[in-house]
Amino acid sequence: MKPNIVFDMGQVLMDFAPPKFIARLGYTGDDAQALLQEVFKGWEWVAFDRGDITGEDVAASACSRLPERLHDGARELVFHWWEEMIPMPGAKELVTELYGKGYDMYVLSNASQDFHRYFDRIPGSEYLPRARRFVSSDYGLLKPQHEIYELFLEKFGLEAADCVFIDDSPPNVEAARRLGFRALVHRGDPARLRRELKELGVDVEV
């Protein structure tokens, strides 16, 4: 029996790299660092991914802590960071191969409601149908809470032992393993990822 493949999104399928988003807007030095801290590393981004607050809330709160000259940049980041998304190296090739070999694939991601606007822009997303995408802000939960994994399994009628979970966050992977998933940490190396998937019983080229 083929295992089900469960992908995280950021740093697994797409390159979620806030410093790059900020640099594209032309900010450097202290201004770039301030935007990174107040937009992406504030408590608001976590609440946004849980679905507790809106993008407008995130922007307003970040701007309250930033000098006025950075307000436009903060809003641009909150509402448009995803418009120039870059796939992770090897991601499209891996998803395409797994699809061709008949694997059932799912997405389990911490993400805001913007997920539903941008996910189809990721190369290879056509092999990850909408019906198999589970995003945190739809359910008011976040990885690594065990409840999100349990609800994911319940929603799709899966057993943890029949799933291989790929995430870039060690705490998220550890939580999945505790619940019985086969799981691994993706460190950005597509060749290593393929080797580790092979070790977990996934039929991929290495």
Query: Positive or negative CA dihedral for 205, 132, 106, 81?
Result: positive
Of 31, 55, 84, which one is at a domain's C-terminal end?
84
Number of Cβ within a 10 Å radius of residue 78: 25
10 bridge partner residues: 14
Q: Residue 201: count other Cβ atoms within 10 Å of its Cβ.
A: 11
Report pLDDT for 107: 98
Q: What is the pLDDT of residue 123?
A: 84
Whether 66 and 93 share a structural domain: no
CATH of the domain at 172: 3.40.50.1000
Please check whether residue 103 lies inside any domain of the structure: yes
Distances (CA, A) of 200 to 70, 195, 203: 47, 9, 9
Tell me, yes or no, whether 179 and 108 share the same domain. Answer: yes
E-only strand ranges, the chain: 4-7, 105-109, 133-135, 163-167, 182-185
Tokens of 174: 């550890």
Whether residue 131 lies inside any domain: the answer is: yes
Same domain, residue pair 107 and 144: yes
Number of domains in the chain: 2
**Can you give the residue range of the structural domain that contains 165?**
4-15+86-199
Note the pLDDT of residue 84: 82
- Residue ending a domain, among 68, 84, 100, is 84
Cis-peptide into 3, omega within 30 deg: no
Residue 94 CA to residue 75 CA, distance in Å, equals 34
What pLDDT is attached to residue 45? 97
Residue 128 lies inside a defined structural domain of this protein:
yes
Q: Are residues 100 and 194 in the same domain?
A: yes
Q: Does 147 lie in the same domain as 46?
A: no
* Rounded Cα distance, 173 and 161, in Å: 14
Do residues 55 and 114 lie in contact, with contact meaning Cβ atoms separated by under 8 Å?
yes
Question: What tokens were used for 155?
Answer: 């929603």
- Alpha carbon distances (Å) from 20 to 25, 77, 191: 9, 11, 24
Are residues 43 and 131 located together in one domain of the fold?
Answer: no
Same domain, 57 and 110: no
Q: Per-block average pLDDT, block size 10, for the chain (206 residues)?
A: 96 95 97 98 97 98 98 97 90 97 97 94 91 97 98 98 98 98 97 97 96
Asked if residues 4 and 158 have their Cβ atoms less than 8 Å apart, the reply is: yes
Is 121 inside any structural domain?
A: yes
- Residue 1 has a pLDDT of 85
